[in-house]
């Protein structure tokens, strides 16, 4: 995975831990928000010398969590049975151009040398059902245009907590991810 902007991350020094930093940012509900959030978290982790594979996996999980906050939370879009990927994407683009697209997604990062916690809050009451996840790579599900996000999230994090309108992602340096 490559990142165009490799400038140092501009976070405030952590009030709770020397050598780390905290940062908060928000985005409108458009399809650029997930990639921007992923880039910011990856820069933060690189500045703390996290291993590249852990940085890629965790920042990918953040991208998916922000995507869910935008699409399912703020825009209120769920995949409809029998809907193809083009129709699903078209509905997302149309909704992001309206009033729902002005709703904010808030991201809080608490970065440390050995742990990183990212909280993603969106509007709406979307909750990722973390106890009933199906393997999206199983026969019959691999062709569906949805469901792979949970796999990305669980493979990039050590801990995942989901609440109405919020998801918390935690990664410990060197720790095996929950879905690995």
What's the topology of domain 16-172?
Heat Shock Protein 90 (3.30.565)
Average pLDDT, the chain: 79
Which of 132 and 159 is assigned the larger pLDDT?
159
% of the chain residues with pLDDT over 90: 31
Instruction: Kindly indicate the confidence band of residue 77, based on its pLDDT and cuts at 50, 70 and 90.
Output: confident
**Listed residue (138, 139, 148, 156) closest to 67, CA to CA:** 148
Query: How far from 64 is each of 48, 149, 178, CA to CA, in Å?
Result: 22, 6, 16
The neighbouring-strand residues paired with 109 are 23, 118
Domain coordinates in residue numbering, the chain: 16-172
Contact 146, 166 (CB under 8 A): no
Q: Is the pTM of this model over 0.75?
A: yes
Q: What is the pLDDT of residues 20-38, one digit of tens each?
A: 778 888 888 888 889 999 9
Q: Does 128 score more than 80 pLDDT?
A: no
Residue 83 has pLDDT above 60, yes or no: yes
């Amino acid at each position: 995975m490559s990142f165009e902007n490799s400038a140092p991350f501009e976070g405030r020094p952590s009030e709770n831990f020397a050598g780390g930093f905290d940062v908060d940012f928000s985005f409108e509900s458009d399809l650029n928000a997930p990639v921007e959030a992923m880039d910011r978290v990856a820069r933060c982790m690189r500045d703390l010398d996290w291993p590249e594979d852990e940085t890629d996996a965790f920042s990918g999980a953040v991208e998916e969590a922000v995507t869910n906050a935008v699409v399912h939370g703020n825009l209120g879009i769920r995949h409809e049975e029998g809907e193809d990927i083009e129709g699903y994407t078209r509905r997302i683009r149309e909704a992001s151009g309206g009033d729902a697209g002005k709703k904010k997604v808030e991201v809080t990062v608490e970065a440390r040398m050995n742990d990183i916690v990212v909280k993603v809050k969106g509007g709406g009451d979307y909750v990722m059902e973390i106890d009933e996840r199906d393997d999206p790579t199983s026969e019959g599900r691999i062709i569906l245009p949805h469901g792979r996000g949970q796999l990305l999230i669980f493979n990039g994090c050590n801990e995942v907590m989901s609440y109405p309108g919020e998801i918390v992602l935690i990664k410990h340096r060197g720790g095996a991810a929950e879905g690995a």
